[in-house]
Structure 1
Amino acid sequence: MLKKFLFTLSVALGLCLAVLAQQIQVTGTVKDPAGNPVAGATILIEGTTSGTTTNADGGYSISASPNATLLVSFIGFQSQQIAVAGKTRIDISLKEDSQAIDDVIVVAFGTAKKEAFTGSATVIKSDDIAKSQQSNVAQALAGKVAGVQLTNTSGQPGQSPDIRIRGFSSLNAGNGPLWIVDGMPYSGDLNNLNPNDIESMTVLKDAASNALYGARGANGVVMITTKKAKSKDAVISFDAKWGVNSRAVKDYEYIKNPAHFYEVHYGALKRYYLDSGMSEIQAHSLANQNLAASANEGGLGYMIYTLPEGQEFIGINGKVNPLATLGRRVVYEGQEYYIQPDDWTDAAFRHSLRQEYNISISGSTEKASVYASVGYLDNEGIAYNSDMQRFTSRLKVDYQAKKWLKVGANVNYARFNYNQIDDGGASNSSGNVFAYTTTVGPIYPLYIRDGEGNIRYTEDGIMMYDYGSGDNAGQERSVFTDSNALSDSRLNTSQAEGNAFNGTGFFDITFLKDFKFTFNAGVTLDETRSTSILNPYFGQYKGEEGLISKGHARQFEYNTQQILNYTKQIGNHNVNVMVGHEYYNARSYSISGSKSHMLTPDNDELSGAIIDKQSAGSSRGEYNNEGYFARAMYDYQSKYFFSASFRRDASSRFHPDHRWGNFWSLGGAWILTRENFLAGTQNWLDNLKLKASIGSQGNDNIGNFRYTNTYTIENANGEVSTVFNSKGAENITWETNSNFNAGVEFSIFRGMLSGGVEYFLRKTTDMLLSFPVPPSQGYSSYYANVGDMRNSGIEIELNYTPIRTDNIIWDINLNMTHLRNKITMLPQERRNKVVEGYQGYVSGTTFFGEGLPMYTFYLKKYAGVSDEGKSMWYMDELDENNQPTGRRVTTTEYAKASDYLCGNPIPDLYGGFGTSLNFYGFDLSVAFTYQIGGLAYDSGYAAAMYSPANKSTGMNWHKDILNAWTPENSSSNIPRLQYEDQDQNAQSDRFLLDASYLNLQNINFGYTVPSKITQKFGIGKLRIYLACENVYYWSKRQGFDPRYSYTGATSQANYSPVRTISGGINIQF
């Protein structure tokens, strides 16, 4: 027996030694398609548990049989089987697996397989986010997601865009989406999130996606997932970029030549005098005499030319005397002054610097994953005293403590400092640099100069600015009198600094094999300290020796979630059921005060001023939301998919009797390519999926305390008094959005062409409306749920890859959205006017009517120019009973002209397109955003097409005014330019313009140095790149930018969009 055992043992040992003798050592490197080393790739020997992972340089070494097969895998790339075939050196090049990358999608309270997802969502990956040089993560959505529109009311550093997903849901409540960061609601400033920390952004658009967010999901959801470790070995990444900012949108084509400006104004005066009965010589003489006179006499107030003695400034031919020289020396009250024009635009704006640095380190083991980062941004605005600095840091840790227990935490801290200038108000706002530079004519000085032309300084060493109020040799402007916005922008300051903290934590407990319980908790704390100083030297507060205002605001939020998941697979049946509870609380506090008579602007505390302005105030607010929710997902054979969700929500923004609401969704999908009847298409049809969903969400974004009366406490001659602030309405409740979505997803020719088409229908019921009341009531309006509206449209997303090889990858993408909006019901109280058969109400230049889109323009219709050169408009012809006959006639009297429906600002198509090319280490990406159709009111152009009038002279003219009607130019459609023709540029559809545009959003060009070179220096990856943002913009007219608003309003007073051109470097170790 012993002999048999020893014999068997010796044979076994012999066989083992024989096998070992046949083992060889295989080494090599694993690289991605761009030739960069891949750290953390898994190398296994097929049929065994033996394996290894690649190091930071992508290298590996493994002992294997000469006949073995290596299994190579890494997240985001196609797995490969490679025969050893006796080779000792095998270098491996991985190929991207877009299907694997997109296999999982972030959804409400978790993730889901994309194939099982029955809703509508679009994912933006970190690579696309990195190509955008924006400090605000929301800007990365521009042109990337079908159905999403962005407007930017200001290009000032630190400003956030306004976002709409699939149209409008409300007239008076909020229309912005809900933001979710790593599973937790986020209402803080998006500027406090570093785009470099973001792995992906997922936009959820339909009921199946959003219903679980109940009260806050009606306007769509944007889910941000931050980065985590991807490699087992530590990876250190450093990115730095340095760039220059400049204006991205040109000014209107104004008349910039001072001589031409005088000639145009002279012509307006002369035609006025001729029209009043003067002779040619009389009109010419008086126009010359009053050209630089005060505004009361129709003049411009300033003469900046020196004339030969005894000669006229403007000749009888209407041209400036060729012997006149620019610049004029004046003696006024014993002092010499030199009057010359300045380029206000050149003085107001600058080419500013932008620099950004980010460093991160990440790594993981079998149980733990760590990601840590810090970032710094210094972004100067294109206008002086507008800039932002931001420091961010993030630590994200996951730990598998036990087989059944996983815990994690994610902490983000931001320190910020903003300096901002005034860019609000109307186009004639005297404190707004952008309004000023686009309004003030080219003849006016910016500074006060001595007789030699040198800028004067005050005793405090401050440059003396011309406020147009007589300080400059007694000359006065009629436009922006006693103001100088450029002085304000240099001497006034508005600063906000603070800290933002956001922390989340979780633990997962797995039990009974198929159950998992998750507890999530999050805390957000934002604190902002603001300081505003209005200078004591010039302007509004010179008489009060300056004004300082201080403020402090704090926002504290916490959110908890308890989620139970059950997942089970039984044969071909897959089931997932989730139930959960969520509670959210937000509290805000603010305090402010101001003082005048400052000792010096250098002391930026209230203690540095002595007179209390009695404007101290404070406030606080609180908002609570609680919800119970459930979701069930089922699929059969991974071919037929069904989902259902329900949430019961409560919001503190409603009366206790009306706080709870129910929201739900149903969804289904069918992957046809897994059916036998399509088996014959497998050689060209990769994927064909049909999907549909229906459901409802709520909107409680109406502000706090709408359900109760609120009062303001005021000082009534030393006595305390209360004044009605707003009238409460106990019965107000949710605006409800009912959504239907149906679509198809496809992929053909092994992913060469893929995309999707979706139809959506959104119906808003119980829409919140404001009802005005007579002033005698003591309040201006109250709210009620009484309106309905609908949005419908089609979205298309296409991706085409004409070339995909080991060294060349070329991708092309396009998305487009066709949207239609209609108000379907208004209450009787708001249907107080009938226009062209539609019932509704008028608000300014907008008509809100049943059966019409929101923001339908309601204006007078321009009818051209009369035989005398006057503006004409249409009016309804009236019969002897003063009733419309149904016909339209023309009139030159603006007050008699009728208002009509003139279209709306909603475009026919909007979206984005772009391309990317990777070529032997070089990479190039180009992205565009566009809009086709819709109308916008070009207020900037209208303002520059005016006729001067009493106390309304000296503003910029557009060059088109040179083509105004004259007896010699009678075919012109531009009315005559004549002094006191005050309706020359009156509001009408003459200034409605096609709002189509095309914007070259960004260009990114880079080169990745081959790893065989960088590895010699211990560098895993080295990329050098050039990034350009807001490169070029095309619209129907230079200066016209309809992207500021969804309503069709435009303004040249807004802070201009900014172009940024940067160079950068990215290094990984």
Structure 2
Amino acid sequence: WKVGQRSVPLMLFLLLCSNIIIAQTKVEGVVSDISGLPLPGVTVSVVGGKNVVTTDIDGQYSIDAPATGTLSYSFMGFITQNVAIGGRSKISLSLKESVEDLNEVVVIGYGTQKRSDITSAISSVRAKDIENLRQVSVDQMLQGKAAGVTVTNNSGQPGSNVSVKIRGISSLGGSNEPLYVVDGVPISGDATSRSTSGKPLVGNDFSESSTQTGNSSVSPIAFLNPNDIESMDILKDASATAIYGSRGANGVVIITTKSGKKGIGKFSYDVSYSIQQQSNLIDVLDLQGYARLQNGLMEAFFPGRDKDPKFASPELLGKGTNWQKEIYRVAGMKSHQLSFSGGTEGVNYYVSGGYVDQEGTVIGSDYKKYTFRTNVDAKVKPWLKIGAYINAGITNENITLNGSQNGIVSTSLLATPDVVVRNPDGTFAGPPPNDGAIYFTNPIAAALSNTNELVRKNFSGNFFSEVKLLKGLEYRFEIGGYAEFTKTKEFRPKVNWGQAGNPLASLTSRTGENYSLNIKNLLTYKTDIGKHNIYVMAGQEANESNWEGLSVTGVGFFDNELPELPVAGELQKVEPGFAYNGRQTLYSVFGKLIYDFDNRYSISASMRGDSSSKFAEGNKWGYFPAVSGSWKLSSESFMENVTAITNIK
């Protein structure tokens, strides 16, 4: 056959294409972490090429690449690896975590900064540091995780608050709890603050009506799901907290929740079950020892009188009732956590839901929590980014009696071992007539008969927009809020437990609610001029809080089965309750300057002014300046040969 002039270019083109096709190969594999768990969303790309894929939910990928080319594997929080293909069709590998990258950026208050450049005392707790902890509240997870932070459990009651002290005790009469900033929304750590809890100042157990049922104080951030936490940055010294003004006196805990990342959607389901129990019991006398004690007291104080017949022969008695063993139990806690996250071009999302059911180690106490969160951000224009962080939580607590006089634990130590828990007919027992122990109430009966329930509904959200005005100049607007609704129900039925009991049934019902609105305007400017690095921030913030509550008590119910105020019997009397309400505002302006020269010398200065409605005209403003500096010795030439030290300042 004859080759025409037009056939030659065509044949050359087909020959070239065949060479290209021969040179291409399909590479498949699995990407995992060092523990062998698959990593979804890892970006796999051809170095110098355009082919880019991401691993699926099982960490698997498939990509067309030159047989002699190189593949790059990158993922947030892990060290990027480049691997030569070498004609292989199967390549699987494990990525190592990059601790330096995870710790590089720290939230410093209205901004971020490289950890190596920080001139203040700031500790950070990351998600990986707390992912294996089984706690129902975020503040409990700080225990033992940050230097200089003391966390103390105030009660064993599930859902109760803990004391977090960052700068020691700064006030003998006021609160020593830090300020929490959750995704930009400030929340006071004081569990008795009206503006935080919606409860009265005299104890947030509504002790002004004091039925001795004693609601334990609850954590102001109990509505958060610990599984949603990305990081917690603790600002500890004055130079770090001054930017938060009067509210930062006890330190600041900045909580950042998780956000979605670009890549294939990632679904996660975590289920767990754990148990807890009282580790130690206080040594008390058993029935034989108690009988000998009673006989000895009778001989010492009433010589010649006959012994109590039931204690006449202690050696014939059994162990009696150990009330501590009766009130404590092995308590279980189950948790179900769901989340879905991912991102597309310009839009990232994170959605989660959680359920926790925790029994208390003391009978009659338990805690249930339901949470929902959605975090979304979108880059709608090259110069405009918007986003929202929304959280909802519902908690339901059954709380045991914990007053100092009739608390379950204290009563179990006062109760005598000669009294049984229940009578032969199944009713609760108590001190017999003429026993001389009328003050003793059967703690089991009290725990299982009384109702002491607290329901809280929390909602929080923050919406923001970021605008790039000029190179290095950005404006950010935020509007956020927090709302809480509480309802407590304390019912003490009409009962007769031996000498002890309650002749009149009573019901105390309380409601409370509070709202907080926060608006921020921030203007930031960053620039590098040669060896000079400059960061300037100016901002304005306005906060308003409102709260109100009501308490009513009814006494004299005929029927223990209908503990509702509208159906009280004729003998009912409604005791005067109390109502409260209030409002406070805080207006602030602030600014910050960070200057760094040649990555060696750094200085940071900030100023904040707060105007509070708590103070009279002419005395509303308070000012909080701060200055700090550092010298990074590790960047000096005389430290170049000191390999044992990588960063010192």
2:371 equivalent among 392, 417, 421: 392
Relative to structure 1, is the Cα distance of residues 9 and 586 closer, same or farther in structure 2, using a 3 angstrom cutoff? farther
The residue number in structure 2 matching 1:405 is 384
Contact conserved, 2:495 with 2:503, CA < 8 A, in 1? no
Distance 1:114 1:342 in 2: 59
The residue number in structure 1 matching 2:565 is 606
Identity of aligned residues (%): 30
The residue number in structure 2 matching 1:984 is none
Partner SS for 2:332: strand
Counterparts of residues 826-837 of structure 1 (less than 5 Å)? none
Relative to structure 1, is the Cα distance of residues 7 and 407 closer, same or farther in structure 2, using a 3 angstrom cutoff? farther
TM-score under structure 2 normalisation?
0.88
1:533 equivalent among 491, 498, 508: 491
Partner AA of 2:563 in structure 1: D
Shift of 1:18: 4.8
- Asked if residue 501 in structure 1 is aligned to residue 459 in structure 2, the reply is yes
Counterparts of residues 348-387 of structure 1 (less than 5 Å)? 348-387=327-366
2:521 equivalent among 559, 562, 567: 562
Contact conserved, 1:530 with 1:552, CA < 8 A, in 2? yes
- Asked if residue 615 in structure 1 is aligned to residue 576 in structure 2, the reply is yes
Relative to structure 1, is the Cα distance of residues 601 and 196 closer, same or farther in structure 2, using a 3 angstrom cutoff? farther
**Structure 1 portions without partners, runs of 5+:** 1-5, 274-282, 293-302, 306-312, 315-319, 327-339, 458-462, 691-1069
Counterparts of residues 908-987 of structure 1 (less than 5 Å)? none
Give CA deviations for 1:660-685 in whole Å, capped at 9, x if unaligned. 11112212233322222111123x33
The residue number in structure 2 matching 1:245 is 276
Contact conserved, 2:182 with 2:254, CA < 8 A, in 1? yes
* Structure of higher RCO (CA pairs closer than 8 Å, 6+ residues apart): 1
The residue number in structure 2 matching 1:765 is none
Partner AA of 2:69 in structure 1: A
- Asked if residue 259 in structure 1 is aligned to residue 218 in structure 2, the reply is no
Distance 1:182 1:7 in 2: 67
Shift of 1:542: 6.4
1:439 equivalent among 397, 401, 414: 414
Relative to structure 1, is the Cα distance of residues 659 and 9 closer, same or farther in structure 2, using a 3 angstrom cutoff? farther
Partner SS for 1:658: coil
Distance 2:532 2:88 in 1: 45
Partner SS for 1:600: coil
The residue number in structure 2 matching 1:588 is 547
Give CA deviations for 1:692-738 in whole Å, capped at 9, x if unaligned. xxxxxxxxxxxxxxxxxxxxxxxxxxxxxxxxxxxxxxxxxxxxxxx
Distance 1:120 1:7 in 2: 74
1:229 equivalent among 245, 260, 264: 260
The residue number in structure 2 matching 1:575 is 534
Give CA deviations for 1:818-864 in whole Å, capped at 9, x if unaligned. xxxxxxxxxxxxxxxxxxxxxxxxxxxxxxxxxxxxxxxxxxxxxxx
- Asked if residue 161 in structure 1 is aligned to residue 162 in structure 2, the reply is yes
Partner SS for 2:538: strand
Shift of 1:500: 1.1
Shift of 1:550: 0.9
Distance 2:283 2:490 in 1: 35
Relative to structure 1, is the Cα distance of residues 12 and 114 closer, same or farther in structure 2, using a 3 angstrom cutoff? farther
Contact conserved, 1:548 with 1:609, CA < 8 A, in 2? no
2:505 equivalent among 534, 546, 552: 546
Partner AA of 1:121 in structure 2: I
Relative to structure 1, is the Cα distance of residues 42 and 573 closer, same or farther in structure 2, using a 3 angstrom cutoff? farther
The residue number in structure 2 matching 1:422 is 401
Contact conserved, 1:534 with 1:541, CA < 8 A, in 2? no
Relative to structure 1, is the Cα distance of residues 253 and 587 closer, same or farther in structure 2, using a 3 angstrom cutoff? same
**Structure 2 portions without partners, runs of 5+:** 1-6, 189-195, 197-219
Shift of 1:406: 0.6
Shift of 1:351: 2.4
Task: State which structure, 1 or 2, has the greater radius of gyration over its C-alpha atoms.
Answer: 1
Partner AA of 1:501 in structure 2: F
Contact conserved, 1:531 with 1:604, CA < 8 A, in 2? no
Partner SS for 2:444: helix
Contact conserved, 1:179 with 1:223, CA < 8 A, in 2? yes
The residue number in structure 1 matching 2:310 is 304
Contact conserved, 1:379 with 1:388, CA < 8 A, in 2? yes
Counterparts of residues 1023-1062 of structure 1 (less than 5 Å)? none
Distance 2:408 2:435 in 1: 19
Give CA deviations for 1:972-992 in whole Å, capped at 9, x if unaligned. xxxxxxxxxxxxxxxxxxxxx
Distance 1:58 1:356 in 2: 26
Partner AA of 2:587 in structure 1: E
The residue number in structure 1 matching 2:215 is none
Distance 1:107 1:183 in 2: 12
Partner SS for 1:500: strand
Distance 1:560 1:482 in 2: 54
Partner AA of 2:586 in structure 1: N
The residue number in structure 1 matching 2:204 is none
The residue number in structure 2 matching 1:199 is 230
Distance 1:133 1:192 in 2: 16
Partner SS for 2:641: helix
Relative to structure 1, is the Cα distance of residues 204 and 7 closer, same or farther in structure 2, using a 3 angstrom cutoff? farther
Distance 1:325 1:57 in 2: 66
Give CA deviations for 1:929-987 in whole Å, capped at 9, x if unaligned. xxxxxxxxxxxxxxxxxxxxxxxxxxxxxxxxxxxxxxxxxxxxxxxxxxxxxxxxxxx
Distance 1:225 1:169 in 2: 26
Partner AA of 2:184 in structure 1: G
Shift of 1:105: 1.1
The residue number in structure 2 matching 1:860 is none
Contact conserved, 2:262 with 2:345, CA < 8 A, in 1? no
Shift of 1:21: 4.4
Shift of 1:237: 0.7
**Higher mean displacement: 130-139 or 481-490:** 481-490
Contact conserved, 2:472 with 2:527, CA < 8 A, in 1? yes
Distance 1:325 1:542 in 2: 27
The residue number in structure 2 matching 1:465 is 429
Distance 2:593 2:55 in 1: 40
Contact conserved, 2:464 with 2:477, CA < 8 A, in 1? yes
1:477 equivalent among 407, 428, 436: 436
Partner AA of 1:597 in structure 2: G
Relative to structure 1, is the Cα distance of residues 640 and 385 closer, same or farther in structure 2, using a 3 angstrom cutoff? same
**Higher mean displacement: 484-493 or 197-206:** 484-493
Shift of 1:10: 10
Partner AA of 2:518 in structure 1: N
Partner SS for 1:442: coil
The residue number in structure 2 matching 1:992 is none
Relative to structure 1, is the Cα distance of residues 13 and 137 closer, same or farther in structure 2, using a 3 angstrom cutoff? same
Give CA deviations for 1:481-507 in whole Å, capped at 9, x if unaligned. 263333222211111123211111111
The residue number in structure 2 matching 1:81 is 82
Task: Give the number of aligned pairs.
Answer: 610
Give CA deviations for 1:874-931 in whole Å, capped at 9, x if unaligned. xxxxxxxxxxxxxxxxxxxxxxxxxxxxxxxxxxxxxxxxxxxxxxxxxxxxxxxxxx
Counterparts of residues 335-346 of structure 1 (less than 5 Å)? 341-346=320-325
Shift of 1:392: 0.9
Contact conserved, 1:341 with 1:446, CA < 8 A, in 2? no
Relative to structure 1, is the Cα distance of residues 373 and 485 closer, same or farther in structure 2, using a 3 angstrom cutoff? same
The residue number in structure 2 matching 1:675 is 636
Distance 1:213 1:198 in 2: 22
The residue number in structure 1 matching 2:213 is none
Distance 2:299 2:159 in 1: 49
The residue number in structure 2 matching 1:515 is 473
Partner AA of 1:125 in structure 2: R
The residue number in structure 2 matching 1:626 is 587
Distance 2:146 2:502 in 1: 53
Distance 1:541 1:346 in 2: 21
Shift of 1:352: 3.0
Partner SS for 1:550: strand
Relative to structure 1, is the Cα distance of residues 671 and 20 closer, same or farther in structure 2, using a 3 angstrom cutoff? farther
Partner AA of 2:429 in structure 1: Y
